[in-house]
Amino acid sequence: MPIFLVYHKIRDDAAQDAHAISPHLLQEHLQAIRASGVPFLEPREFQPAQNGVVITFDDGTPDHDTNVRPLLDKFGARAIFFVSTDQLDTAGHLTRAQVKALQREGHVIGSHSHVHKRLDLMSPEQVREQLATSAAVLADLLGAPPAHLAPPRGGYDATVRAVAAETGYTFCRTMRWGYNRPLDPLAIEIAPVTGAWGTWFLHEALRARNERLVKTLFFLKLGLRDSLGPLDYRKIRNTVAKLARG
């Protein structure tokens, strides 16, 4: 079954941001994948039954153009880039021209909704408007509507799933942790590779080891976030990230 990896910013000043990692660490991950013998999957021809790794990048930040593209080229890997269409051509985000270039080079552009807000907190009508608008913007820019959706901030529920299917998305990548055994195309699980224990998660996922532990850690993390509130949770997460970096 496919292992999905989620990355955010790839920058040298990554220590400021719990989700960001350095280009050097991304290169180490790509080397670890190659050394494991698990193939990089071709996202343009993605099929649910394939075995391999699908690399995804969220938020359409400029480092995806400057830092990620050359690294992926070096490894002959292609990725899915999820962009929030309202952010294209705005400060701190990819331009339309950069997104087109990524597609031309064989990468896949997916929808990260229109505005970067949690869909699970919206009404079904608002979710429909977000997903339809984003699909229309990408269809206009790239010649075809996107097959892949990744809801911002992991805001995913039954309504998001139903509306995604209705509005023409084939795949929905969540932020739930797991190895997709079996893969549910509208609820794809991820291995969390940019957090404090990212490299550990990557190695376990490549060997399909400890899935139950990974799933348990995910529910513990959710529970911690819900019981602490976002501010305290973020403080703890950032402290753990700092400790893990040494």
Q: What are the residues binding Zn ion (CB under 5 A)?
A: 58-59, 152
Q: Which of 58, 176, 157, 156 is nearest to 109 (CA)?
A: 58
Can you tell me which residue has the tokens 């021209």? 97
Task: Rank residues 38 and 56 by Cβ distance to Zn ion and give the closer one.
Answer: 56
Report CA dihedral (121, 125, 128, 132) to the nearest 10 degrees: -120
- Cα–Cα distances (Å) from 25 to 22, 29, 71, in that order, read 5, 6, 11
Task: Rank residues 83 and 214 by Cβ distance to Zn ion and give the closer one.
Answer: 83
Least Å distance, CB 124 to Zn ion, is: 21
Task: Rank residues 58 and 189 by Cβ distance to Zn ion and give the closer one.
Answer: 58
Least Å distance, CB 92 to Zn ion, is: 13
Least Å distance, CB 174 to Zn ion, is: 12
Beta-bridge partner residues of 81 = 57, 109
Beta-bridge partner residues of 192 = 6
Task: Rank residues 111 and 180 by Cβ distance to Zn ion and give the closer one.
Answer: 111
Q: Are 214 and 191 in contact (CB under 8 A)?
A: yes
Task: Rank residues 6 and 206 by Cβ distance to Zn ion and give the closer one.
Answer: 6
- Cα–Cα distances (Å) from 207 to 42, 91, 195, 202, in that order, read 20, 39, 19, 9
Least Å distance, CB 116 to Zn ion, is: 6
Least Å distance, CB 17 to Zn ion, is: 12
